[in-house]
Amino acid sequence: MRLRSLRTHIALLIIMSVSLLAGCTIAPPDSPPNATPPSTQTPVPSEHVDPAWRFPAAPDVPRETLPSIVDVVREVRPAVVSVMTEMVGFDLFSQAYTQEAAGSGIIIDSTGYIVTNNHVVERAQDIQVEMVDGTTYGASIVGTDALTDLAVIRIEADGLPYAALGVSDDLAVGEWVVAIGNALGEGISATEGIVSRLDVSVRVGGNTLRDLIQTTAAINPGNSGGPLVNMAGEVIGINSVKVASIGVEGMSYAIAIDGARPVVQSLITQGYVTRPWLGVSLYTVDRFTARINQLSVDEGALIVEVSENSPASDGGLERGDVIVEFDGRTIRNTDQVLQAIIDSDVGDVVEIVYVRQQDRLTTTVQLRESPAPWD
């Protein structure tokens, strides 16, 4: 009964917490009758998954700094694409309608693999990719990863121009960079700026993006998924988010390419990213949640669902339990559980302290490899 009450208030207030690493997603409100949003459809492996795929070999000689921003844009622009998507939305009367959106992507090899943001293609029913010369291709999703906001799509083409990838660990604060993408859906454009900060974390929609590059280069709607490049014309980041509020300027963020590489590799070679897995869906406990659901604690991570045959179920965790400690770390919200799992390895045995009604209990679980999303 208490969990039903929680879900009702989530639906009414449109409050959602997303922590995908541990399978930690609060269930969305019920779908309209006779309609199934794409996000609830059972994932299937992409036909474009290629276990043998590798990034194109880097040149033996380091790329030299180009003379000007004009030269940088000229070098990279042929590999930057506009990504147009269509998805189904529902109005207040549960009537389906088609939503259109625009983003960007960067071609990473000659056979048509394109890196973009997860939020650009999430729930898309149709994806079109437009090249710099105006040629348009239909695209298929190869794999997505909500935790890092990365996705790989592919078009049926060959001999394509592709971007060179740099090393984001070599970046320095103050270094010039250029963001290229389909800003505002009006075609490929470029903006320049400097690196403001490195290794930044930003919370976006209930998920925390980590290992970001903060830059003064303007990243506007439509730029998402496009490249952030250095003055050698190398991709050192994937443009992702911008902080937009009154009095805030020059705070745009890109996913560092060094952290993106292994994610992209996994998405292409197996269609998903393997990580340690607990097997629970969680919701952050606060005073409001605790009062509504008559919980005995007002901080922690409330278990909304436990996956069958998961480490959590093997450890005796149940719906309604509140995780308050994970392997010695105090837990106040779902993001802290997520970070604790990120810092663990597959096979680690961890101690979890949780509250069940009035009792404070302890269990140990062995984290396993996350299953494929279609299993």
Spatial distance between the Cα atoms of 223 and 200, rounded to a whole number of angstroms: 19
Query: Among 136, 70, 128, 78, which residue's Cα sits nearest to residue 107?
Result: 78
Strand partners, 277: 368
Which residues are registered as beta bridge partners of 206?
Answer: none
Residue 239 makes CB contacts below 8 A (sequence gap 6+) with: 104, 117, 179, 181, 219, 223, 224, 225, 226, 227, 228, 252, 253, 254
* Contact yes or no for 367/350 (Cβ under 8 A): yes
> 184: which DSSP letter?
G
In Å, how far are 45, 102, 123, 167, 272 from 375, measured between CA atoms? Answer: 10, 31, 19, 35, 12
Give the separation between CA 179 and CA 165, rounded to whole angstroms: 14
CB 203 within 8 A of CB 80: no
Closest CA to 183 of 144, 217, 213: 217
* Residue partners of 88: CB distance under 8 A and separation at least 6: 35, 37, 38, 96, 97, 98, 99, 123, 125
Which residues lie closer than 8 Å to 167 by C-beta, 6 or more apart?
234, 236, 257, 258
Residues with a catalytic annotation lie at: 119, 149, 224
| Cβ 94 vs Cβ 35: under 8 Å | yes
Distance CA(40)–CA(55), nearest Å, equals 32
